[in-house]
């Protein structure tokens, strides 16, 4: 039986946030081998903030991402290797490099109101013969109608699929369903959902997306990812099995990868704790969690106050430098009240 959706496992990209971008070559090959053997069709590999993300602003990688991508390609026997690119961080040269290394899926990500900046990169991915996926991040920040406008731009540029990306883990189930339904009804290409766990809704949102017509779903093994992590791949596949939804993926094999390989690699458990819940409440980019934790410790201000203020300022991915500014302002305000 053909699966009604294609699953992309992002443990080695979004999950990179959970290890501060320090995946080793051995960890990457072990995870790819396990996911590949379990039947996962697409495995995403790159710095957590996409190609070229290794930097002072986003965090330096422990191992060069091109080394990891090449190793993933060499290890996978059936899975396709995908990479994420954010225009302005990654470049056209990065796309050529991953194509030459054997990656076949380019996922081009923009803020949910800035699809127009993806034209060059989506077009180049198609010219290289790659599958092009549009990734509309922070999709909770616009209504379904506006998200469709942006998705249509990506479709016009040549995208094969467009994702609703809940980067902050801030969407409720009805909000996610409405956005997916709008894209499914308004596009003639595939539609995907990328959910985070900050409100403990990632599996429910992914299932609601399937009901609304999504044909692509993302997950991370052991729920690894920014913030509280992503939709746990092994949980989603197990629930699908219970519901009679064919995935073509072996749930028990995924559980083994999660328990024996991914969790031991994580630096901290993926929990829906106070910081993660605050991320979802404030609607703040998931990768801000560790940065805000460090700023809170350095300047002696509550992490929740930093995150809530970033939410009020509608901070988006790429504005990590704003975290320090906010922490300094909060510290100065506190000191001025003494």
Residues with a catalytic annotation lie at: 17
Residue indicated by tokens 């328990």: 259
The answer to whether 136 and 151 are in contact (CB under 8 A) is: yes
CB atoms within 10 A of CB 338: 4
Dig out the tokens for 137 from the structure. Answer: 């991040």
Question: Alpha helices of the chain — where are they, by DSSP H?
Answer: 25-38, 65-75, 92-101, 119-127, 144-157, 173-186, 202-211, 233-243, 251-257, 263-265, 274-282, 288-299, 303-312, 321-336
Q: How far is CA 56 from the centre of its chain?
A: 20
Instruction: Report how far residue 95's alpha carbon sits from residue 101's, in angstroms, rounded to the nearest whole number.
Output: 10
CB of 221 within 8 A of CB of 251? no
Contact 259, 12 (CB under 8 A): no
Surface-to-core class of residue 125, CB atoms within 10 Å of its CB (0-12 exposed, 13-18 middle, 19+ buried):
buried
Beta strand ranges found along the chain (DSSP E):
6-12, 42-45, 80-85, 105-111, 131-137, 161-165, 190-194, 216-219
Radius of gyration in angstroms for the set of CA atoms belonging to the chain, rounded to a whole number: 19
* Tally of CA atoms within 13 A in the half-sphere of 125 that contains its CB: 32
Q: 196 has which bridge partners? A: 230
Cα–Cα distance measured from residue 189 to residue 158, given in angstroms and rounded to the nearest whole number: 10
End-to-end CA distance of the chain: give it in Å, rounded: 68
Q: Which residues contact 174 (CB under 8 A, 6 or more apart)?
A: none
């Amino acid at each position: 039986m053909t699966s009604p959706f294609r699953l992309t496992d992002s443990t080695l990209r979004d999950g990179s946030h959970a290890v501060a971008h320090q995946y080793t070559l051995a960890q990457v090959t072990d995870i790819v081998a396990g996911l590949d053997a379990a039947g996962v069709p697409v495995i995403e590999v790159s710095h957590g903030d996409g190609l070229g993300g290794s930097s002072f602003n986003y965090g330096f990688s422990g191992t060069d991402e091109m080394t990891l991508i090449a190793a993933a390609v060499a290890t996978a026997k059936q899975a396709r290797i995908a990479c994420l690119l954010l225009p302005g961080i990654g470049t056209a040269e990065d796309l050529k490099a991953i194509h030459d290394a054997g990656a076949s899926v380019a996922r081009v990500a923009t803020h949910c109101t800035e699809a127009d900046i993806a034209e060059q990169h989506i077009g180049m991915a198609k010219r290289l013969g790659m599958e092009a996926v549009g990734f509309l991040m922070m999709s909770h920040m616009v209504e379904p109608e506006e998200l469709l406008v942006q998705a249509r731009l990506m479709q016009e540029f040549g995208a094969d699929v467009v994702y609703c990306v809940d980067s902050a883990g801030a969407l409720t189930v009805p909000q996610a369903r409405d956005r997916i339904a709008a894209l499914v009804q308004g596009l003639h290409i595939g539609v995907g959902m990328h959910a985070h766990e900050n409100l403990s809704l990632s599996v429910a949102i992914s299932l609601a997306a399937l009901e609304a017509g999504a044909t692509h779903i993302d997950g991370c093994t052991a729920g690894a990812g920014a913030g509280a992590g992503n939709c746990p791949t092994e949980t989603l596949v197990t629930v699908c099995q219970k519901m009679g939804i064919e995935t073509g993926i072996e749930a028990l094999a995924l559980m083994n990868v999660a328990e024996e390989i991914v969790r031991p690699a994580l630096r901290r458990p993926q929990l829906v704790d106070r910081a993660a819940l605050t991320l979802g409440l404030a609607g703040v980019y998931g990768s801000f969690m560790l940065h805000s934790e460090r700023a809170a410790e350095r300047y002696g201000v509550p992490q929740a106050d930093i995150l809530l203020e970033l939410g009020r300022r509608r901070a988006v991915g790429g504005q990590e430098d704003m975290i320090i500014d906010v922490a300094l302002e909060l510290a100065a305000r506190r000191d001025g009240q003494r």
